[in-house]
Amino acid sequence: MLIKSGDVVEVRTGNSRGTRAKVLAVKLAKPGGMPVQADKLVVEGVNRVFRHIRRSQKNPQGGRLSKEMPIDASNVLFVCSACGKATRLGSKLDANGSKVRFCRACGAEHGVLRRARTKAKATG
């Protein structure tokens, strides 16, 4: 998945449709896990639920705590800072051999995914 925490995304489906917000956390599916597992994102202010807290010594009043829950990564689009559009991301190799993310709409680069690989020295 090409979306990272700190990116601005636009929600495409659900109650928060059209909302642009920052990604707080990325939860990746476990490789080799069940086939229904998918990548999830926690987006600021999206998919809020109430967690009911029982009274205790730590929280003497109790009450309801509002928090964000993860949403599926397929329900959001990356918002390009260069063109301002909600678009898909692609990955390509740069001139020096590093792998970078780029906007599919305008072609602007959005950070390095993997630095250029160096050739290992032969030992012997």
pLDDT (0 to 100) of residue 123: 65
Which of the four pLDDT bands, split at 50, 70 and 90, describes residue 114? confident
Query: Would the pTM of this model clear 0.85, i.e. be above it?
Result: no
Report domain extents, the chain. 8-79, 88-124
pLDDT (0 to 100) of residue 38: 78
Q: Tokens in use for 44?
A: 């600021």
CA distance 104 to 62: 48
pLDDT (0 to 100) of residue 34: 67
Cβ contact 43:25 at 8 Å: no
CA distance 101 to 111: 6
pLDDT tens digits along 17-66: 999 999 999 988 887 766 666 789 999 999 999 999 999 999 899 899 99
pLDDT tens digits along 63-99: 999 999 999 999 999 999 999 999 999 999 988 889 9
Beta bridge partners of 50: 66
CA distance 75 to 99: 25
pLDDT beyond 70 at 124: no
